[in-house]
Structure 1
Amino acid sequence: MAYGYTTDGRRVYQDDKGTWLIEERDGTVRQATPEEIDEAYGDSGQ
């Protein structure tokens, strides 16, 4: 699976159900906001 990264280095990805998640720098994972998804993938066409 390809990962995207926000400008500040947080990882954004989809789980096997298609839910967008973001991994914070402290290791916690939560659902990503549309803005975070756009920041991570906005230039890649996903």
Structure 2
Amino acid sequence: KLKHTETQEKNPLPDKDVVKQEKVHQNLLEGVEHFDKATMKPT
């Protein structure tokens, strides 16, 4: 006979704060990568 075992979740999903922080970081990187240099003015 097989014994009953307790299961453990090994790869839990990230919480809301981590997802939000990653999204902000991704948007920042995308803004830097697609920045239009033509809109800049000399100082």
Higher share in strand: 1
Q: Normalising by the residue count of structure 1, what TM-score does the alignment of the two structures yield?
A: 0.27
Which has the larger Rg? 2
